[in-house]
Amino acid sequence: MEGRRVLQLLCLTFTLISTTLPSPPAGLTVSPSRSQFLKRDSVSLSCEEDGWTVWRKTKRRERSSCKDGWGEPAGSSCNIGAIYSRDSGVYWCESREGAAGSSINITVADTVVLQSPVLPVMEGQDVTLGCRTSAPSTLSAEFFKDGVFIGTESTGHMTLRHVSRSAEGLYRCSFRGVGESPPSWISVSAPPTKAAPPTEEALPRSGAPPTNITSLQLVITVFRHLLVFCPYFISTLLMVSIYRGQRSQTSHPHGDAPRLSRDWTME
């Protein structure tokens, strides 16, 4: 009977640990990789994690999942054969438990769109912007940043060389006599920091490969271990305490009897 109670408490502890540790959010991948599309374009949306579903929210209706009146699901992906203005909205990935990943804003236009990166670009990278139209046109494309004209390109493409944080902003393009694209925000993020190479004094003498664990990573690692094992440790102490108490009661059901017997003998 006692063993069964201990087993039940152990199962409860592991259940609590598994439910309190959240799963990492899954990102959404758009193919072709852009946030603006001309009507009747085909689009493929994919979640990075298996078992997640593509969801969206548009102006015409509340949040809905793929195949709920739009798209064709294929595993963790959703394919839209022909996209229209009514499909403009916010798209994201969601798990069965309701966890949501990062979202992407998709815009559908009739005549002119700006082809720009969906995800943030790293500092130092080159970024190519494209201006595309559904109308036949041989005119040069004009590009704007934050409402300011930044150049004309006859090829319809403009490349920003070695971008920095100052390149962040709201971009759009236009063809004279045809129309202009909706604006799109371009984000620029700092490149990941690289750990300094170990010095000769820091190299291990046992021949093992050096580790590049920073103090912050060490703190995070210790915190994660405490988060996982603290509930288990506390529950174990509670089980041991309960077990000892019940065993003590079983061993001495009449604990006061010997003392009363000695007192009577002494009289």
Q: What is the mean pLDDT of residues 43-66?
A: 92
Percent helix, percent strand, percent coil in the chain, to nearest 5: 25, 30, 40
Looking at domain 17-110, its CATH architecture is: Sandwich (2.60)
CA separation for the pair 73, 55 (Å, rounded): 11
Q: What is the dihedral of CA 243, 244, 247, 252, to 10 degrees?
A: -150
Q: What is the pLDDT of residues 236-263, one digit of tens each?
A: 666 666 666 666 666 555 555 444 444 4
Residue 220: the pLDDT is: 53
* Average pLDDT of the chain to the nearest whole number: 77
- Enumerate residues 6+ apart whose C-beta is below 8 A from 253: none
Phi-psi region of 71 (alpha: psi -120 to 50; beta: other; left: phi over 0): left
Domain boundaries, the chain: 17-110, 111-191
pLDDT in tens, 76-104: 999 999 999 999 999 999 998 888 888 99
Using the CB atoms, write b or e for 5-25: b if 16+ within 10 Å: eeeeeeeebeeebeeeeeeeb
Taking only the tens place, the pLDDT of each residue in 2-28 is: 555 544 544 444 444 444 444 445 589
Phi, psi for residue 67 in degrees, rounded to 5: 80, 0
15: tokens are: 């259940």
- The β-bridge partners of 230 are none
Q: Give the pLDDT confidence of 33-47 residue by residue, as tens digits.
A: 999 999 999 999 999
Closest CA to 56 of 120, 95, 104, 127: 104
Is 111-191 the same fold as 17-110?
A: yes
Q: Which of 82, 91, 110 is nearest to 35 (CA)?
A: 91
Mean pLDDT of 200-229: 45
User: Can you tell me which residue has the tokens 């991948």?
Assistant: 29
The pLDDT value recorded for residue 17 is 42
Cα–Cα distance measured from residue 156 to residue 134, given in angstroms and rounded to the nearest whole number: 13
- For domain 111-191, give the fold: Immunoglobulin-like (2.60.40)
